[in-house]
């Protein structure tokens, strides 16, 4: 036997543990942001609802889209496209992205009047974008998210192989034992919903396939990616604007025709290309609650005449497979219980990442005094792991506090979130961790409580009320944690278990 074959049996596990630790160390913070934002994105429409309390009640998708197109026709100039998402059982506004006079805008349109709602906010979209764009410009945020996801796949694979007692770990938890407890917690969180972690990482990578794995596409299509897109959605039509003005034909009948094509499924996304031009095209997609698959069908109309140009129902096995896997990540299909399971799985993954990062420090601290590098990492952990949720909670508070008439209000909310997270990170770096942890977690608890109180607590809307209750529960849980931390600090220091031999 040579030395290298011994590596196979014993060293491989060790090397994997090493790789698991280092990928976690390098990408832990990015993965923590992605997983936390992704977990919250499961309830993206509900968060949007909480953030727009002025719009209440349920809206009819056809009437809302009609109102939206009427308003856009009267209030935009020189648009190349209007991209609308109709209200459904969860969202109650029309989410619109459009350009007017050369400016690109994203607004929530009131389902009755079609005009932008008074409280200009990104709503749940902020968390959704943060999840895969990390507040970085295109394509860098998405590329970084892809890289982090790939390394997470590596971390999961190596984490599993590095385990000696895989199934035992599910049922093992030894609390209040320092490193042992953190390791047990990390293992249990990672292993218990491992199928979810693998699924969500794998399917997440796939959603950004055109950026992170474009080689099959270029191998088969070369530079002609337009051909790929038209092959993927044969019911979509691309037309160049003619330059001749033409009013949009009534959209109601088009939506009714679309719904018939979708076998009764309500319309969801409505894309209007070249509006106001005789070369206008209206493409309609159904809601994705009937099956897991993404984009199950589409139908395109001539915008000027309202006649059907092309209709398509997806039945190709290869494409359905791809769309189903894509849809598994988006979870648009998920009924309430499944959505909560997604949330739970995401929360466990977020906590597995956070506990892994803390474990890195705890493990080293119990052996010897921390090196300068590890002391810096310890403080980065405080600032990052507490700072990111602080930024998110500050975002919710800003939503209630910023005046409605403020210019670029939606962007100001995001600025508040980023500056708060940045300030928390700085505090984490300058304060000793024993003080930084309780202080920042206490701050987070206060922000959650404040957001809930301004909900307002007596809100009539069920979604707003549920949000307030969850925020309150979060605040209470954090307050208990802080109280425990402070009590332990004032208690006499327990005898170190791993003393250096006297």
Partner 1 sequence: MSKVSARPLRSGWRYRANVALRTIVGTVGAYGVAALAAAALARTLPMARVEAVTIATLMAYMVAPAVTIWAFLARGPWRAIAGVALAAAALGGIAWIAGQPA
Closest CB 201 distance from partner 1, rounded Å = 10
Closest CB 159 distance from partner 1, rounded Å = 12
Nearer to partner 1, 75 or 321 (CB): 321
Closest CB 91 distance from partner 1, rounded Å = 29
Name the residue among 355, 485, 464 with its Cα closest to residue 123. Answer: 464
Q: Does 202 bind partner 1 (CB under 8 A)?
A: yes
Beta bridge partner(s), residue 297: 313
Binding string, residues 215-254; x marks residues near partner 1 by CB under 8 A:
xxxxxxxx-----x--xx----------------------
User: What is the Cα–Cα distance from 198 to 203, expressed in whole angstroms?
Assistant: 8
Closest CB 36 distance from partner 1, rounded Å = 24
Nearer to partner 1, 153 or 486 (CB): 153
Closest CB 456 distance from partner 1, rounded Å = 46
Q: Which stretch binds partner 1 (CB under 8 A): 123-131, 257-265, 320-328, 388-396?
A: 320-328
# residues contacting partner 1 (CB under 8 A): 46
Contact 72, 82 (CB under 8 A): yes
Contact 403, 381 (CB under 8 A): no
User: What is the Cα–Cα distance from 366 to 222, expressed in whole angstroms?
Assistant: 56
Nearer to partner 1, 151 or 386 (CB): 151
Binding to partner 1 in span 368-397, by CB under 8 A: none
Q: Does 209 bind partner 1 (CB under 8 A)?
A: yes
Closest CB 103 distance from partner 1, rounded Å = 35
- The distance of Cα 262 from the centroid of its chain, to the nearest Å, equals 28
Q: Does 208 bind partner 1 (CB under 8 A)?
A: no
Contact 363, 179 (CB under 8 A): yes
Closest CB 220 distance from partner 1, rounded Å = 4
Q: Does 321 bind partner 1 (CB under 8 A)?
A: yes
Among 3, 137, 373, 492, binds partner 1 (CB under 8 A): 3
- Residue written as tokens 């974008």? 129
Q: How far is CA 81 from CA 54, 74, 280, 310, in A?
A: 28, 15, 9, 19
Among 192, 246, 290, 319, binds partner 1 (CB under 8 A): 319
Closest CB 139 distance from partner 1, rounded Å = 17
Q: Does 287 bind partner 1 (CB under 8 A)?
A: no
Name the residue among 122, 113, 103, 147 with its Cα closest to residue 44. Answer: 122
Nearer to partner 1, 83 or 221 (CB): 221
User: What is the Cα–Cα distance from 350 to 487, expressed in whole angstroms?
Assistant: 26
Closest CB 312 distance from partner 1, rounded Å = 13
Binding string, residues 102-121; x marks residues near partner 1 by CB under 8 A:
--------------------
- The distance of Cα 46 from the centroid of its chain, to the nearest Å, equals 13
Binding to partner 1 in span 139-198, by CB under 8 A: 150-151, 153-154, 157-158, 161
Q: Does 83 bind partner 1 (CB under 8 A)?
A: no
Closest CB 182 distance from partner 1, rounded Å = 23
User: What is the Cα–Cα distance from 357 to 361, expressed in whole angstroms?
Assistant: 7
Sheet containing 297-302: which strands, arranged edge to edge?
Answer: 103-109, 94-100, 81-85, 267-273, 281-286, 297-302, 308-313
> What percent of the chain is helix, strand and coil (3-state, nearest 5)?
60, 10, 30
Binding to partner 1 in span 17-36, by CB under 8 A: 18-19
Q: How far is CA 186 from CA 25, 154, 213, 322, in A?
A: 14, 17, 31, 32
Provide Rg for the chain, Cα atoms: 26
Contact 208, 132 (CB under 8 A): yes
Among 8, 263, 376, 476, binds partner 1 (CB under 8 A): 8
Nearer to partner 1, 6 or 469 (CB): 6
Closest CB 247 distance from partner 1, rounded Å = 36
- The distance of Cα 151 from the centroid of its chain, to the nearest Å, equals 18
Closest CB 143 distance from partner 1, rounded Å = 13
221 CB burial (10 A radius; 0-12, 13-18, 19+): middle
Q: What is the dihedral of CA 421, 424, 430, 436, to 10 degrees?
A: -140
Binding to partner 1 in span 322-351, by CB under 8 A: 322, 325
Binding to partner 1 in span 434-453, by CB under 8 A: none
Beta bridge partner(s), residue 312: 298
- Which residues of the chain form contacts with partner 1 (CB under 8 A)? 1-8, 10-12, 14-16, 18-19, 150-151, 153-154, 157-158, 161, 202, 205-206, 209, 213, 215-222, 228, 231-232, 316-319, 321-322, 325
């Amino acid at each position: 036997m040579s030395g290298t074959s011994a590596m196979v049996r014993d060293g491989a596990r060790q090397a994997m543990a090493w790789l698991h630790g280092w990928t976690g160390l390098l990408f832990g913070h990015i993965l923590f942001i992605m997983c936390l934002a992704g977990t919250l994105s499961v309830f993206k429409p509900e968060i949007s609802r909480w953030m727009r309390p002025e719009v209440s009640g349920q809206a009819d998708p056809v009437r809302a889209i009609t109102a939206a197109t009427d308003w856009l026709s009267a209030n935009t100039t020189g648009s190349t496209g209007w991209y609308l998402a109709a209200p459904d059982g969860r969202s109650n506004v029309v989410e619109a992205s459009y350009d007017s006079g050369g400016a690109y805008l994203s607004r929530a349109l009131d389902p009755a009047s079609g005009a932008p709602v008074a409280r200009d906010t990104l709503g749940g979209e902020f968390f959704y974008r943060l999840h895969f764009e990390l507040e970085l410009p295109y394509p860098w945020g998405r590329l970084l998210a892809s890289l982090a996801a790939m390394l997470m796949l590596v971390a999961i694979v190596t984490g599993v192989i590095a385990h000696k007692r895989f199934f035992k770990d599910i049922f093992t938890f030894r609390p209040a034992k320092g490193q042992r407890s953190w390791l047990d917690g990390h293992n249990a969180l990672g292993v218990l919903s491992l199928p979810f972690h693998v699924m969500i990482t794998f399917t997440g990578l796939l959603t950004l396939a055109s950026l992170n794995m474009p080689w099959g596409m270029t191998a088969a299509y070369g530079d002609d990616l337009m051909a790929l897109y038209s092959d993927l959605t044969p019911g979509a039509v691309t037309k160049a604007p003619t330059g001749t003005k033409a009013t949009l034909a009534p959209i109601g009948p088009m939506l009714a025709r679309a719904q018939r094509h979708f076998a009764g499924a309500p319309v969801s996304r409505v894309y209007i290309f070249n509006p106001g031009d005789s070369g206008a095209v209206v493409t309609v997609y159904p809601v994705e609650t009937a099956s897991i698959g993404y984009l199950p069908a589409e139908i395109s109309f001539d915008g000027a005449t309202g006649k059907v140009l092309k209709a398509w129902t997806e039945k190709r096995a290869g494409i359905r497979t791809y769309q189903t896997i894509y849809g598994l990540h988006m979870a648009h299909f998920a009924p309430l219980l499944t959505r909560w399971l997604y949330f739970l799985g995401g929360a466990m993954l977020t906590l597995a990442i956070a506990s892994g990062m803390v474990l890195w420090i705890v493990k080293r601290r119990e052996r010897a005094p921390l090196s300068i590098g590890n002391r810096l990492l310890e403080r980065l952990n405080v600032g990052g792991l507490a700072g990111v949720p602080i930024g998110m909670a500050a975002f919710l508070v800003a939503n209630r506090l910023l005046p409605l008439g403020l210019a670029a209000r939606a962007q100001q909310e995001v600025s508040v979130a980023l500056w708060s997270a940045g300030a928390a990170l700085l505090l984490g770096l300058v304060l000793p961790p024993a003080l930084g942890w309780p202080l920042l977690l206490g701050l987070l608890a206060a922000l959650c409580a404040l957001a809930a109180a301004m909900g307002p607590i007596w809100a009539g809307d069920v979604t707003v009320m549920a949000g307030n209750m969850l925020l309150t529960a979060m605040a209470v849980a954090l307050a208990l944690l802080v109280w425990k931390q402070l009590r332990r600090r004032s208690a006499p220091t327990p005898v170190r278990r791993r003393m250096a031999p006297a």
